[in-house]
Chains A and B, each alone.
Chain A
Amino acid sequence: MTKNVYTVGQVNAYIKNMFTQDFMMNRIYVKGEVSNCKYHTSGHIYFTLKDETGSLHAVLFAGNRKGLAFDMRNGDNVIVLGSISVYERDGKYQLYAREILLDGAGLLYQRFEALKRELEEMGMFAPEYKQPIPQYIKTLGIVTAPTGAAIRDIQNITGRRNPYVQTILYPALVQGDGAAASIVNGIHALERLGVDVMIIGRGGGSMEDLWAFNEEIVARAIFECSVPIISAVGHETDTTIADYVADLRAPTPSAAAELAVYDVRQLQGQLLTIRMELNRRLDEKLQYCREKMEQFERSVKLFSPASRLNDRRQMAADLAEKLEVIMRQRLTASRHELELYAGKLEAMSPARKLSQGYAFVSDKAGRGIQDVDHLQQGDILNIHMMNGRVKAQVCEISKTTVENE
């Protein structure tokens, strides 16, 4: 029996040829769920497409990388354009992908990603272009639906925080046909009016519902607007392109209102505090000056000419008193001395002597005579006694000698 025996190589080559000859296998769209997705360092992406029935190996070579415009993950439902061919080495057939698209709802997301990337590259999200939100505004513009939770929340918050700020609503379509154009009109109209700050947004919803805020014309209108814009689209977890372009992103419409409008009572409180501080500082200064003045006054009093004059006067008075005392003492002492002398004099007075029985003898002229040698017999003498004078004549003279005594 002769059987045709073929090599592995021959079989694989045959099968490969079958695939290459087949029209459909050369260009086919295959849809399925991505699994086992591996991003190789080489740049090739290996994955498996599967559905309920089975799976198909696939690869996107680095050269075709441009055919994948999004971050492909396991679980994504995709449509792959490519060819199916045989890899002889492994005896396997696989899908050689040229383009990979997200299926269905994912398409929307893809458009979102694409636009986001494009605008980001143009720099429209760059922080340098973001305008600061002014702190103390007078007018607030709002682009949102005239009914619904968003406008209600904004109204409540602004009314509570600062009823003196003028709020102006541009009632816009926030989903469906014409929504993007409506929003753009709103931005332009409020900009023309010249509001200080703008809030644009809407309540939560699906990606389709929020789609208007992902449109390019809206992004451009926000970017080119001279008025600072706060975006508040959907819930905290939804981020639309409007949120990226806006000058500030708020997680909810209420938060946007708080960011836009300052609390007027807080401001009034601050002003009051400042006023009290001004008063306090002035009082302190006055007090300080008053104390300095009193200090000065005390010093002046201490060293004033009037004060010094009083000192001198006091000294003079003291000295005068001392002088008087001394003078009096001197006077007393002198009087005393005088009395002593008077006493002595009295003791030696001739009158006294006369009273004691002594007599004063004088010649005719009144000159005293003590010496008998000056006398001769017959001279006239005057003898002065206590109570009178006796005129006498010398009868006899006898001189006292030592023997006589």
Chain B
Amino acid sequence: MGKGEQQEPSLEETFQELSSIIEKMQKREVTLEESFSLYEQGIRRLKLCNDKIDNVEKKMLLLNQQGELEAFDE
């Protein structure tokens, strides 16, 4: 990857964690306290995912000869 190592887990990793959390919550043996804890972990990870989406619309940029980014208007 061009960016190098990420500090926090990727979206793919977070999705896997969420999947395993949901699976655990299904089990009979899991206590109510554990369920609450798992739920909280799940919500926290969902928030992480939503944060990654950024929600800021971006226009296409152009990399000019000087190596700088400028607005690209077609």
Contact = CB atoms under 8 A, between A and B. Distances in A.
Interface stretch (A19-27, A39-47, A236-244, A270-278): A270-278
Interface string B7-50: 00011100100100110011010101001100100110010011
Contact of B62 (A138, A169, A264): A169
Interface string A241-281: 00000000000000000000000100110110011011001
Contacts of A278: 21-22, 25, 39, 42-43, 46
Given A147-B74, A271-B46, A282-B39, A164 B11 contact: no
Contacts of B25: 278, 281-282, 285
Nearest to B45: A274
A191 B52 CA distance: 22
A316 B57 CA distance: 83
Contact of A134 (B1, B49, B63, B69): B1
A327 to B, nearest CB: 58
A274 B1 CA distance: 28
Given A155-B60, A163-B58, A268 B53 contact: yes
A-side binding surface: helix, strand, loop or mixed? Answer: helix
Interface residues on A, range: 35 or more
B35 A285 contact: yes
Contacts of A277: 22
Contact of A196 (B1, B12, B15, B21): B1
Interface of B: 1-4, 10-12, 15, 18, 21-22, 25-26, 28, 30, 32, 35-36, 39, 42-43, 46, 49-50, 52-58, 60-63, 67, 69, 72, 74
Interface of A: 134-136, 138, 146-147, 151-152, 155, 158, 163-171, 186, 189-196, 226-227, 264, 267-268, 270-271, 274-275, 277-278, 281-282, 285-286, 288-289
Ranked 9 nearest A-B pairs via Cβ: A281-B25, A136-B11, A227-B2, A163-B57, A194-B2, A285-B35, A167-B60, A164-B54, A278-B42
6 contacts: A189-B63, A278-B22, A278-B25, A281-B26, A282-B39, A286-B32
